[in-house]
Amino acid sequence: MKNKIIMGFMIVLGMITLSACGSNTLDGKYTYKSNTYTFKDNRVEQTVDGKIAGPAGTYTVSGNKIIMKLANITTEAKLIDGKKAFSITSLRDRPHGENILTAKNSKDGLKAIPKRKYIKE
């Protein structure tokens, strides 16, 4: 009887652990210098220098990829360090679909964005 109780407890504990590993949501703040993305439920908000940068948007997580939709920009990022950080891989202007990080008329400052590592607080 005691073995069955222990085995049942271990199965429940294993199921809880596995369900946490497969989570497709983020929770908390990820910051690079004065730029912060705050995730809660399926919403994301960006602040720069402590001020809200625009209306909140939505995001999805698939594997190690985040897709954020804020205003007219779709931002793609790669999760790293077990969801403790991410780096932006693409910024797309939604009306045109162009990756503004690699566009010919892209400002030099934008080319540095993929090197930034947003770390969870």
**Residues 25-34, buried b or exposed e (16+ Cβ, 10 A)?**
ebeebbbbee
Non-local (6+) Cβ contacts of 98 within 8 A are 92
pLDDT tens profile 20-39: 455 789 999 999 999 999 99
Question: What is the reported pLDDT for 44?
Answer: 97
Question: What is the reported pLDDT for 14?
Answer: 47
Identify the top-confidence range among 6-15, 78-87, 98-107.
Answer: 78-87
Distance CA 74, CA 94 (A): 6
* Residue 15's pLDDT band (cuts 50, 70, 90): very low
Neighbours of 66 (CB within 10 A): 24
Residue 70 has pLDDT above 80, yes or no: yes
CATH T-level fold of 25-120: Lipocalin (2.40.128)
Question: What is the reported pLDDT for 91?
Answer: 86
Specify whether the CB–CB gap between 117 and 94 falls below 8 A. no
Beta strand pairing call for 118-120 and 85-93: antiparallel
Distance CA 84, CA 26 (A): 10
Question: What is the reported pLDDT for 20?
Answer: 46
Question: What is the reported pLDDT for 26?
Answer: 94
Least confident of 8-22, 49-63, 107-121: 8-22
Global confidence as pTM: 0.73
